[in-house]
Amino acid sequence: MVPEAARQDVEAAYRAGQRLDQRGRVDDMPGLLEGLKKMTATAEIAIPRDAELTSASLTLPAVLPAAREARTFTAKALRRWGEGEELIEAAVLIVSELATNAIRHGGRLPAGCRERGRGRDAVITLRLVPETEALHIEVHDGSALLPVQRTAGRDEDCGRGMLIVDALADSWSCGPAAEGGKWVRATVSRTGR
């Protein structure tokens, strides 16, 4: 049974999400991010420890602080699944790069919004799928423009994200998403780490 305070936290986060869906914008971004934190904490309380989860996903507003939420979510999910610290560190860094790219280059609008294109209410979705031998990390955003691995100049402060993903992942790929936008997926071996 979920404690009453935890249930209220989930309801507050849900109401913040409804405001996002109904109006197409976020009136209280700090409140929404705080609600997401509480929702994650509540999910940890509400899901029995022995429940076998086949995947975990999180949808966040496409704002830079959301990359931190994605990293925290990833570390908690992987620890819950009993993964080793080396895999967790690699996965968190990959999520950081993929989420930051998605935030900077193409969050998608929530379902029900009439506007098209990127706006301040755009969202990204992170999905983690552990399989027997590999962990799949996938990020969806609203841009159809696919990422390109490039070499950044020494003095440039960006442009290294996909190089980092390529160095840490066993493989990565991307493609157009059926609902619009794109997905970028990195696969990391669960064995030998």
- HEC string for 125-169: EEEEEECCCEEEEEEEECCCCCCCCCCCCCCCCCCCHHHHHHHHC
- Please state the length of the chain: 193
Per-residue pLDDT, averaged over 177-184, amounts to 91
Per-residue pLDDT, averaged over 137-149, amounts to 88
Report DSSP letters for 28-65, one per residue: -HHHHHHHHHHHHHHHHHHS-TT---S-EEEEEESSTH
> What are the backbone angles phi and psi of residue 115, rounded to the nearest 5°?
-65, 150
- The average confidence (pLDDT) of the chain is 75
Give the C-alpha separation, 138 to 149, whole Å.
17
Instruction: Provide the CB-side half-sphere exposure for 47 (13 A, CA).
Output: 15
Give the C-alpha separation, 138 to 184, whole Å.
6
Q: Is the pLDDT of residue 115 over 50?
A: no
Amino acid at 12: A
Are 91 and 165 spatial neighbours (Cβ–Cβ below 8 Å)? Answer: no
pLDDT (tens digit, 9 = 90+) per residue, 50-91?
A: 556 689 999 999 888 899 999 999 999 999 999 999 999 999
Per-residue pLDDT, averaged over 136-155, amounts to 82
Residue (of 62, 94, 108) closest to 160 by Cα position:
94
pLDDT (tens digit, 9 = 90+) per residue, 7-47?
A: 454 455 444 544 443 434 444 555 555 555 544 444 444 44
Give the C-alpha separation, 160 to 176, whole Å.
22
164 pLDDT band, cuts 50/70/90, is: confident
Backbone Cα Rg of the chain: 17
pTM above 0.85, yes or no: no
